[in-house]
Amino acid sequence: MAKIIRGFKDTFGKQAENLTKLENCARKVFARYGVEELRIPTVELKELFIKSTGDTTDIVQKEMYAFEDAGSRNIALRPEGTPGVVRAYIENGFAQNNPLKSFFYIGNMFRAERPQAGRYREFEQIGVECFGNASPAQDAQTILMLKDIIESLGIKNYKVKINSLGCAECRPAFRQELINYFSASKDQLCDKCKDRLERNPLRVLDCKIDGPKFTNVPKQKLCPSCQEHFDEVINLLKGKIDFEIDPMLVRGLDYYTKTVFEFVAGTNAQNAIAGGGRYDTLVKSMGGPACPAIGWALGAQRVASVLEEQNAQEEKNTRENKFFVISMDKTCNQTAFNLMQNLRQAGFITLGGIFDKNIKAQMKQADKNNCRWALIIGTTEVEKGSVVLKDLTNAEQKEFLQSEIISVLKKVQNEKN
């Protein structure tokens, strides 16, 4: 039987549905911000990624799907979208003629990473790249664009981290300070960080193993112009989005300058759902004119999984608080009906009232309607003024007085919350 390659995956059902939903939400938000679509090739010359993503990054060093084609060209499957978009921006003359331009892309990226939950070798990114605007207002609106997409999709529990990495003026000193600091305790670093300490010392800060080990890491001292820029970004964002300034946030790519940010959500170990930052020197270093820029990329599968997780949790929460009232005999209908209305008056989600059906059929409906609890009234209960509360997940049941049932249920709910 033919088998899929390790690290790749088929997408169908809810996951496919959520990906489409996300793409549609994103397109609507991009339109509102005046961002146009750009479709770039899946393959580029390998050199493009080495020059832009950076040869000190894991993505380029170890994770590229690179090969020689029939024309002996060294090409690579794109590991990220920014290099292709920047190339297209320069090559199609936008940089010269219409420098203030923002593009979005939706497409699959390829990285030969070690596969695990939330980390695939082919995954979809939705990204945006905004060129030609150095103003802090551009940083703020680019971040808010991402927030709008996440929220219009209905994702509620996400966190935003922001930092500034400084510029060519203030970054080198920080870089050197980090090399000195970590070199002093090199034996405590993980193998990966030992290896990248000289090449990319900032990455040690956001290493999951080493980052938390060091508590007194030197902090970036921004030059006055970077500090002013960062302060203004923060001021513009205040009140529009909840965020936290995280001096340990560095992002994995070489080209970032000034503002960087990351959105995290969900319970997976791989909980970064999107990230990005400013890259004011990249366009020039790739052969274009000096041109400020900022962008982000969102991992579509990760966002879709968070949505799925959240929906499942919400469904579970609703089920927890849903009741179904059952009458076991014609003579019990009046009492059961009164109980049902009393529960609704008290604010409980209450279904039922199909008293012309037999008990089995009523139970079946309770289950079908995703109710966790059945409240059963039979002739004995009418006589005793009681009601049976049955947990449909494990069939356990307990009897309470009808006069007390609402306060009992309220107490249980309060304990849960």
User: Quick one: which segment of 157-165, 177-185, 296-304, 329-337 binds ligand AMP (CB under 6 A)?
Assistant: 296-304
Query: Taking CA 227 as the corner, what is the angle to CA 126 and CA 235, rounded to the nearest 5 degrees?
Result: 65
Q: Residue 248 phi/psi, 5° resolution?
A: -90, -5
Tokens of 363: 């139970």
By CB under 6 A, residue 104 contacts ligand AMP? no
Of 227, 222, 191, which is closest to residue 207 (Cα–Cα)? 191
| Residue 301 engages ligand AMP in binding (rule: CB under 6 A) | yes
Binds ligand AMP (CB under 6 A): choice among 84, 275, 288, 378: 275
Compare residues 274 and 328 and give the one whose CB is closer to ligand AMP: 274
- Considering the rule CB under 6 A, would residue 23 count as an interface residue with ligand AMP? no
The only residue of 89, 120, 261, 373 in contact with ligand AMP, by rule CB under 6 A: 120
Closer residue to ligand AMP in complex, CB, 272/377: 272
Residue 161 CA, distance from chain mean position: 12
Our measurement of the distance from residue 59's CA atom to the centroid of its chain's CA atoms, rounded to an integer in Å, reads 20
Out of 146, 226, 273, 307, point to the residue binding ligand AMP (CB under 6 A). 273
- For ligand AMP, give the closer residue by CB, 66 or 375: 66
The minimum distance between CB 142 and ligand AMP, in angstroms, equals 14
Residue 400 structure tokens? 């309470």
- x/- string (CB under 6 A) for ligand AMP, residues 213-252? ---------------------------------------x
Q: Does 163 bind ligand AMP (CB under 6 A)?
A: no
Q: Interface with ligand AMP includes 299 (CB under 6 A)?
A: yes
Residue nearest to ligand AMP (CB): 299
Work out whether 125 is an interface residue with ligand AMP (CB under 6 A).
yes
Q: Should residue 378 be labelled a site residue for ligand AMP when binding is judged by CB under 6 A?
A: no
Cα distance between residue 113 and residue 7, in whole Å:
8
The gap from C-alpha 288 to its chain's centroid, in whole angstroms, comes to 33
Q: What share of the chain is helix, strand, coil (3-state, %, to 5)?
A: 40, 20, 35
> From CA 416, how far away is CA 412, in angstroms rounded?
6
Comparing CB distances to ligand AMP, the nearer of 82 and 327 is 82
Q: Which of 46, 101, 111, 196 binds ligand AMP (CB under 6 A)?
A: 111
User: Phi, psi at residue 97, to the nearest 5°?
Assistant: -95, -30
Q: What is the closest distance, in whole angstroms, from the C-beta atom of residue 92 to ligand AMP in the complex?
A: 23
CA distance 334 to 51: 78
The gap from C-alpha 133 to its chain's centroid, in whole angstroms, comes to 26
**CA gap 215, 247 in Å, rounded:** 12
Residues that bind ligand AMP (CB under 6 A): 80, 111, 113, 119-120, 123, 125, 252, 272-275, 297, 299, 301-302
